[in-house]
Chain A
Amino acid sequence: DAGVIQSPRHEVTEMGQEVTLRCKPISGHDYLFWYRQTMMRGLELLIYFNNNVPIDDSGMPEDRFSAKMPNASFSTLKIQPSEPRDSAVYFCASSLNWYYGYTFGSGTRLTVV
C-alpha cells in the first residue's frame, strides 16, 4: 500500500482565496482524521470520519472550514475564505479503528499571505 496520500504538499495562497486539501486514506481503514499542526497549538484534531460519516467536527475552528468524505478513498478539507492565521501543516491520517495507531500522510504545508 502507498500509505496515506495527501495533495498538494505545499500551498501558498492569498488571503480570501478558497483552499482545498485532498487525502486518500489507506484502503480498508475505516477511520479518517484531519489534523492541524502549528508551533503555538501543536497537533489539533479538526474532524474525523468513520465509514465516510463525519463523527466529530468539534475541532473545526470556524465555519470557514469544511470537510467531506464522499467515498472510502477520498476526503477533502476546504477553507473558504482563507486567512493568514490558517497557515499551518495539515495532516490527514487513517486507521483501522479509533484505538489503533494512525498512519499519517506527508502533510500539506499551507501558507496564506
Chain B
Amino acid sequence: AQKVTQAQTEISVVEKEDVTLDCVYETRDTTYYLFWYKQPPSGELVFLIRRNSFDEQNEISGRYSWNFQKSTSSFNFTITASQVVDSAVYFCALCWYTGGFKTIFGAGTRLFVKA
C-alpha cells in the first residue's frame, strides 16, 4: 500500500541554521508524483514543488532545495540559512494513478525557526 512517512514531528532551529525535512514514501507504482506543501501559521496550504518518478534531478530554488532518491524512496527538503518566516508545517505528499488518481499526505513536520 502507498504510504508517506514524515518521521520528524517537530524541528526547532535557530535562524541561519540549515535544516532538512525528511520524507520517505512507499509505492509499487512506477509512475507517481511527489509534492511538498507549506502551511504557515496563517493556515493556508502553499504548493512548493512537484517531482515525477522519472525525474531524479535535484532542484534548488533560492534557499530551498530538494533531494529525490528513488533508491531510498526519499524526497527530502532542505532549507538553507533558515529564517523566522520559514516557521510552518511542511507536508510531503504522494500522488499516483490507478483507475483514478489518489493522493496521500504525510503527517507533516512542524518547523520552528527562532530568532
Interface of A, secondary structure class, is strand
Task: For the complex formed, measure the closest distance between the CB of B18 and the CB atoms of chain A, giving whole angstroms.
Answer: 24
**Is B105's CB under 8 angstroms from A102's CB?**
no
> Does A106 interact with chain B (Cβ within 8 Å)?
yes
**Is B44's CB under 8 angstroms from A99's CB?**
no
Task: For the complex formed, measure the closest distance between the CB of A59 and the CB atoms of chain B, giving whole angstroms.
Answer: 10
Interface residues, chain A, with chain B CB atoms under 8 Å away: 42-43, 45, 55-56, 89, 91, 93, 98-107, 109
**Is A106's CB under 8 angstroms from B103's CB?**
no
- A-B contacts, 19 of them at CB < 8 A, read A42-B105, A42-B106, A43-B91, A45-B103, A56-B100, A89-B43, A93-B45, A98-B97, A99-B52, A101-B37, A101-B47, A101-B49, A101-B50, A104-B47, A105-B44, A106-B43, A107-B43, A107-B44, A109-B43
Contact digits for B15-48, partner A, Cβ 8 Å, 1 yes 0 no:
0000000000000000001010100000111111
Interface residue ranges of B83-115 to A (CB < 8 Å): 91, 95, 97, 100-103, 105-108
Q: How large is the interface on B (under 10, 10 to 19, 20 to 34, 35 or more residues)?
A: 20 to 34
**Is A43's CB under 8 angstroms from B50's CB?**
no
Determine the residue in chain B with the shortest Cβ distance to A104.
B45
Residues in B with CB closer than 8 Å to A104 are: 37, 44-47
Known A42-B105, A104-B46, A107-B44; contact A99-B95, beta-carbon cutoff 8 A? yes
Known A42-B107, A43-B91; contact A99-B101, beta-carbon cutoff 8 A? yes
Determine the residue in chain B with the shortest Cβ distance to A55.
B100
Extra 5 A-B pairs, beta carbons < 8 Å, given A43-B91, A101-B35, A102-B45: A42-B106, A43-B105, A99-B33, A104-B44, A106-B44
